[in-house]
Structure 1
């Protein structure tokens, strides 16, 4: 009997680690961009001082001479840091790709080791086997050898790529690790940001719309977009028609600069003016809201949620502030909602508002686990919110002036959401717009006066849908896609007009004459709290209202629990059949 030798290939090499944290590097790149933006502001401030005419004389000239150096130095550092930020971001992107390649190699090596172990066992067991079986074993050994060699080459390539990337980023950082090198590196660098804002369609140009802004933004290359984010974060972050991720990046720069400036002054014992104190409170509220989103997890995948700061202007509306935070990315999610709050909400209210839309996110996600969700709390208008010495705009809740102005802003925000979405990639979003309290009047004004690109409209706790809306279809949608929910003991909803009765802001959307789809919105604790309590419970977990809104956002219209409409008999006051129904706990799929 002849002996046949079958050579078992050597085991593939162990997979070497790919050190580094791509997420931490992206944070570092964002920090560099924030510093760059601050330096750009300093350069602009110094330049404004130089051009000022309010100060003359020898001291003024001496100051201007000194300011020239400050402005030039700040501008140089801003441009160089912006460039370095992009280089670090590119390195982080490459690092993430190299880590994915390593993960693939780990999986391939495991498979190769299993094949090698199986082949070894089969060879050892091959006694008195046929020539055909021997040939099969030889072919398996040869193929394994080729696959191991290919693996070893790919592993070597990965290690070389790691060394090359590390050497390149080290050289780039070392080239600007002193003031003199920064000055040399700035030679030839030109800031394109200001000129880009003069192009047709740019924010602030004549006739600019969300559509024209989006066309302008997409005409820019990545470096131009990054330059604008660094140099003009307030503009980029708060302009409709710019993608959510870019707005978020810009607004986080503005937020970080605000917190650093105001908290540092406070920590150093300096006093803040009333306006600065309000500014800081709104900045801190925005940061807390973002932190709260980051602490949440998707109820289906258990993955951390992404938060997006798609509006941030703490000085808007006389210091009340404007802000919007999204749970999930509305530019890519399949089911998108925008919630508009009402009276007593301003920029400092975003923490509670984000909790509300976070609850809505979870409910809608669980209502349709196969589809992605994004829920936005939009406080982008001057809601009636204060009684202080700086304004009595709460008194304006009795008319629609603020709702009218807010409706125009809301319509632009929603148009911008539609414009930035790449429907060829992500498909068309199912968009639900929800108005609560005075926010429902704002939504009504947006729909009747400007038209909104919504698939469903939901009005909750409404004091009236606006005087231009006599029927659900006046909102520009079929009545089957206009929804209304009001707890029977919600005193604010009792202000709306029912028939001929009411002093509110239009017809009650839960009235049978309005023609909307009324859903159940009672609370099991009905009647156990003060008169305003029911008005503030619509987004609470395991309530009828949140359950039904989640179904609407998820597109599950048939799962919505209908309620009988309010009506106004000629012989007496408004009648609400929901008063006689026993409220039920509705499982929204998660606990608070």
Structure 2
């Protein structure tokens, strides 16, 4: 029997008179006091429980900051000042390397400060929430206003009041999603229970949030796949019903006005132009979701991004474990790339992953296909919209987001991976703009079939000297456009990778293998090709067994384009 039942039964005796009325009044007052006390006790109990769990996240965040500082040669004073201990004493072969390293070290100091800020923010929020709940112990106004129907309801009201909820992620940064360092610090400040709750209750918070570990982004995006698919299907059904209804209205109107049987002009596309435009966008989203769902079902894949809020769908898919792989490659495709057609890129990344792992003597490799920007399409309206392959706008915007994705990979791991940036065609331009930003943590870059990197020299890219490579196939006209900066084929300091037929050199895991040559613009990642092999050597950090050499492009061969 519950306490509520006992109180009710105490007043159920069959007696009447003034004593009975007085007893009933006393019992009603007692019951109201019990409700108040139960609300207060339940609120405080839940508040203390929530605070105890939340504070484990704060402790973990502090320990993570300390580990970050130790791992990166930083010192944190008792007042919270972060100092670079190891950086000032280092020596570098070139001034460029010194500048790149200096920017990296400043970035590490700032990241350490940002992570501390997130730990302090969480601690302050825990303190404020607990104070709010404890004040309810003297029946704060919010609780006093409640009128529960039973003593059990009173405990439920108190529990709800004492539940602090989840701590929202940072804002700011690209698209209001916080910077990679902010997000990493916020995630570290959550207890394991809070992290699980975010994944299942708010997957939209972290699915596209750089700085959150890949495995959690993957879990969140798998949940979002189902949610987004159901939403898109529902929207399509509504719009198709509206279209059918509009058609029936047109037919009826034409019948009423003697429109030659009523069907002439009922299928005029102009009548449905607004609905068809919305339907086309939703069907593109549906196709994109179907592709990502297929990739999510394949072994060893992680879904690191899914965004339907921009003009065209965007997605980021990895093969391999980005959280643990020793080598991580991020590939950015160019003109015409779409999420719906992502399976082909993913297949190339799977093959490149296997090649690179073998060249790296079995070390783990993860390869990411990054379509996290509005890549230009082969569309007559693209120039008018500003999203044209002839313009740099999409590459610059994409470069900002790509740079933050690079930072996020490093920020989400306790140990930095060996990180390679890969860019093809307009994607190489996007990659070039990303690498002009400091502190991306990229160790090497390889570009292929590029219309330009947005720079005139490799010193303008924030990667170490001698770590930028370029491959250009014979008869590839895009590689000679010089549309966005200098032609990488003739750029000083750029390693030139062979794309013609060749033999894998001694010392390579593929020594003695015949490698196929490629031509034109789209074959660079063909399995078994010289260009694929060379790109794998870059990813595996085995440039010592790369096949060097320049393959002239479409116009380089005759020499008239470049004097």
Alignment TM-score, normalising by the size of structure 2: 0.58
Asked if 1 retains the 8 angstrom alpha-carbon contact of 2:325 and 2:365, the reply is yes
Aligned to 1:289: 295
Distance 1:209 1:479 in 2: 27
The one of 276, 284, 287 aligned to 1:278: 284
| Residue in 2 that maps onto 1:430 | 418
1:116-127 maps to which residues of 2 (within 5 A)? Answer: none
- 8 Å Cα contact 1:311/1:322 also seen in 2: yes
How many residues align? The count is: 360
Q: Secondary structure at the match of 1:274?
A: helix
Q: 2 CA distance for matches of 1:537 and 1:184?
A: 69
Describe how 1:31-180 pairs up with structure 2 within 5 A. Answer: none
Q: What whole-Å deviation, never above 9, does each CA across 1:502-533 have from its counterpart, x for those lacking one?
A: xx11111121x432001112368879xxxxx7
After superposition, what is the alpha-carbon deviation per residue over 1:305-349, rounded to whole angstroms, capped at 9, x for unaligned?
Answer: 410000001332x1x111000001111100110000011113223
> Who is 2:100 aligned against?
none
Distance 2:366 2:417 in 1: 10
Kindly indicate whether the alpha-carbon contact (under 8 Å) linking 2:207 and 2:306 is maintained by their aligned counterparts in 1.
Answer: yes
- 3-state DSSP of counterpart to 1:324: strand
Deviation at 1:438, TM superposition (A): 0.4
User: Greater shift after overlay, 411-420 or 559-568?
Assistant: 559-568
Q: 1:459 is matched with which residue?
A: 447
- Superposed counterparts of 1:303-382, under 5 Å: 305-316=299-310, 318=311, 320-382=312-374
Listed as ranges, the gaps of 5+ residues in structure 2 are 1-152, 242-277, 502-514
Aligned residue for 2:202?
Answer: 232
Whole-angstrom distance in 1 between the partners of 2:321 and 2:384: 36
Greater RCO (Cα-Cα under 8 Å, separation 6 or more): 2
With over 3 angstroms needed to count, the CA separation of the structure-2 counterparts of 1:191 and 1:289, relative to structure 1, is: farther
How far the C-alpha of 1:390 sits from its partner, in A, is 8.6
Q: Which moved more, 1:535-544 or 1:268-277?
A: 268-277
| Whole-angstrom distance in 2 between the partners of 1:205 and 1:410 | 13
Distance 1:352 1:206 in 2: 31
Q: Which residue of 2 aligns with 1:169?
A: none
* 1:446 paired residue number: 434
The reply to whether residue 487 of structure 1 matches residue 473 of structure 2 is: yes
Contact 2:357 2:364 in 1 (8 A): yes
1:239 deviates by: 0.8
Query: Contact 2:438–2:462 (CA<8 Å) still a contact in 1?
Result: no
Give me the whole-angstrom Cα distance separating, in 2, the residues matched to 1:486 and 1:506: 16
Determine the C-alpha separation between the residues in 1 that align with 2:198 and 2:306: 16
* Pairwise CA distance, 1:549: 0.8
Cα distance in 2 for partners of 1:194, 1:245 equals 23
Shift of residue 350, structure 1, vs aligned partner: 1.8
Equivalent residue runs for 1:182-221 within 5 Å: 188=159, 195-197=166-168, 208-221=178-191
Cα 1:216–1:560, aligned 2, differ >3 Å: closer, same or farther?
same
Q: d(CA) in 2 for partners of 1:212 and 1:470?
A: 33
User: Which residue pairs with 1:246 in the alignment?
Assistant: 216
When residues 266 and 274 of structure 1 are mapped into structure 2, their CA distance, relative to the original with a 3 A threshold, is closer
Aligned match of 1:475? 461
Q: Deviations over 1:451-499 (max 9, x none)?
A: 5211110010101111xx2212221223421000010211211212xxx
Q: Does 1:506 align with 2:492?
A: no
Q: Relative to structure 1, is the Cα distance of residues 574 and 213 closer, same or farther in structure 2, using a 3 angstrom cutoff? A: same
In angstroms, what is the RMSD of aligned CA positions?
A: 3.5
* Structure 1 partner of 2:65: none
Q: Which moved more, 1:518-527 or 1:366-375?
A: 518-527
Evaluate the alpha carbon distance shift between residue 385 and residue 234 of structure 1 in structure 2; reply closer, same or farther with a 3 A threshold: farther
Give yes or no for contact 1:464–1:505 (8 Å, CA) kept in 2.
yes
- 1:257 aligns to what? 227
